Structure formats: structure tokens, C-alpha cells
């Protein structure tokens, strides 16, 4: 009986030695790694903020189909994409399907409308060497895009160019973390100023900016 148990005990011990670490890894992944990743992802999703510039640039006025169209631009994007993953490694939140819509309103009249869709925001791939990766993380922490807006040029008058106008905007994007993704959307109404940066007015605008 004793001799029969010895081989069984040997085999059992060897199996325990062999699979023990991997049982630990899978159990720890379930109880530590994945919850930690989920927690950090959720923190990153909550931390991210929208950004819309406080200045809208009037870039040009051109004739379109017998009318006058004014071209504007503003910058919009998301801030604080950077976050630390489950091992403390810096990552940048993936931003997909970024959608931005805005209307510039002055005294009840729509001055311009904007709509922008961006498939994906730039981010480091994770395959770069550290000396390339780390600056990319910093650079992509806050990402804003130049959004083009269009409106009827006849709606602009000297008052709208000097006084504040209201921009109603909505923004949505799909954020992807290490293991989770979340759709976030924001909307707001805020006062902005229009800056005429058409050629001839750029120097003046630059001086104002200073």
C-alpha cells in the first residue's frame, strides 16, 4: 500500500510544482490585474475633459454660388488622455469616432456652423523605444484639432466681430483604455470671440493676441 502511494504522491507533487505558478497567475489576473486595469481605465475615462477654444478665427470670405461664405476655424479636442496602466506604465487613451458639432450665434442669428469627424486621434503605438515613446505620451496628452466652420458672410457685422458670441457645441468620442471602452459626450454653450485673421488683418490680430 505504501509503495503504491509513493508514485502517486511524487506525480501529484510534481504536477503541483509545475502548474502552481500558472494557477497563481490566472487567479491573480482575475483578482488583481483585471480589477486594477478596470479601475485605472475608469479613472482615465472620468479624467478626460473636452476642450473648445475661446477664439474663433475668421479666415476668409469667398464667393460661393453667387453668395458670400465666411470660413472660420476653431480648435476642439480632448485633454488629459494620459494615464498610468496597471503596472504604472504611462499610456494615452485611444480616441475613436470623434464627433464635434457647433453653432456660433450672435443676437439670435447663426453666424457659422461646424461639424467635424475624426476616425482616430494620434497616439504612440507602444512599440517605440522609450526615448521616443515618452515624448509622444506628453505630446498626445492634450489633443486638439482644427475644426473648419462655415457661415453666411452677410451675417457678420462689426458688432459681431468685436462683441462676444455664443457657441453651442456638442462633442462625442469613443475612448478605449487598456481593457475597456466608453462612449463619452459633452455639450456646452460658451462665449467666444471672433478674431479676424484674414490677410491684412493678421498683423492686427497678432498684436491683439499679444
Partner 1 sequence: MKLMSTYSVKDQVKEWFGYRGLYAAFFFAPMAALSVHFFTYTAVPLSAGTFYLTLLPILLAVMLTALLPGKSGIYPKTLGIYGIWALLAYSLYDWVRVPMNLIFGVPFWDHWFDWGASAIGSTGTLFTYQNLTAGTIQHILQGWGFAMSYYLLVRRVTFLGATVFAMFMTVFYWVTFPVFVLTDAMPPFIWWFQAWMAHVAFAAGLWFAPKVFGWAYSKIYYDRARRTETSPLKGGESSNGPLKEEEASNYQRNWKTTMFGVLAANAFTLMIGFILFGVVVSSQPPSIYPVFGYGKPPPVLIPGVDSYYYAIPAAVIGFVFVYLALRYRRVVPVSGLKEQR
Among the listed ranges 17-25, 65-73, 111-119, 143-151, the one in contact with partner 1 (CB under 8 A) is 17-25
Contact present, 116 and 148 (Cβ < 8 Å): yes
The single residue among 61, 96, 133, 141 that binds partner 1, judged by CB under 8 A, is 133
Burial of 77 (0-12, 13-18, 19+ CB in 10 A): buried
The single residue among 128, 183, 190, 204 that binds partner 1, judged by CB under 8 A, is 128
Cα 84 → chain centroid: 16
DSSP three-state, residue 23:
helix
In whole angstroms, the minimum distance from the beta carbon of 7 to partner 1 comes to: 4
> Residues 91, 97, 103, CA angle at the centre, nearest 5°?
115
Binding mask 70-109 toward partner 1 (x if CB under 8 A, else -) reads --------------x-xxxxx-------------------
If binding means CB under 8 A, how many residues of this protein chain bind partner 1? 37
Distance CA 159, CA 178 (A): 49
1 forms part of the interface with partner 1 (CB under 8 A): no
Q: What percentage of the chain's residues is helix, strand, coil (to nearest 5)?
A: 35, 45, 20
DSSP three-state, residue 68:
strand
Among the listed ranges 30-38, 54-62, 103-111, 190-198, the one in contact with partner 1 (CB under 8 A) is 30-38
In whole angstroms, the minimum distance from the beta carbon of 83 to partner 1 comes to: 11
Contact present, 101 and 115 (Cβ < 8 Å): yes
The single residue among 12, 29, 39, 67 that binds partner 1, judged by CB under 8 A, is 29
In whole angstroms, the minimum distance from the beta carbon of 125 to partner 1 comes to: 9
DSSP three-state, residue 189:
strand
Positions that interact with partner 1 (CB under 8 A): 3-4, 6-7, 10, 14, 17-18, 20-22, 24-26, 28-29, 33-34, 37, 84, 86-90, 126-131, 133-134, 176, 178-180
Amino acid at each position: 500500500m505504501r509503495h503504491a502511494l509513493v508514485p502517486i504522491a511524487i506525480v501529484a507533487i510534481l504536477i503541483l510544482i509545475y502548474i502552481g505558478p500558472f494557477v497563481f497567475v490566472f487567479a491573480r489576473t482575475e483578482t488583481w490585474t483585471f480589477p486594477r486595469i478596470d479601475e485605472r481605465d475608469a479613472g482615465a475615462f472620468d479624467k478626460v475633459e473636452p476642450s473648445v477654444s475661446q477664439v474663433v478665427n475668421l479666415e476668409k470670405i469667398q464667393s460661393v454660388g453667387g453668395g458670400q461664405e465666411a470660413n472660420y476655424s476653431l480648435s476642439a479636442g480632448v485633454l488629459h488622455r494620459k494615464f498610468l496602466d496597471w503596472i504604472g506604465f504611462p499610456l494615452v487613451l485611444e480616441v475613436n469616432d470623434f464627433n464635434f458639432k457647433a453653432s456660433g450665434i450672435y443676437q439670435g442669428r447663426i453666424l457659422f456652423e461646424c461639424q467635424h469627424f475624426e476616425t482616430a486621434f494620434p497616439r504612440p503605438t507602444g512599440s517605440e523605444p522609450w526615448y521616443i515613446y515618452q515624448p509622444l505620451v506628453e505630446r498626445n496628452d492634450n489633443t486638439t484639432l482644427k475644426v473648419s466652420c462655415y457661415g453666411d458672410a452677410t451675417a457678420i457685422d462689426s458688432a459681431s466681430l468685436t462683441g462676444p458670441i455664443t457657441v453651442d457645441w456638442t462633442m462625442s468620442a469613443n475612448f478605449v483604455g487598456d481593457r475597456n471602452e466608453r462612449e463619452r459626450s459633452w455639450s456646452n454653450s460658451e462665449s467666444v470671440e471672433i478674431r479676424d485673421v484674414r490677410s491684412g488683418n493678421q498683423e492686427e490680430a497678432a498684436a491683439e493676441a499679444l
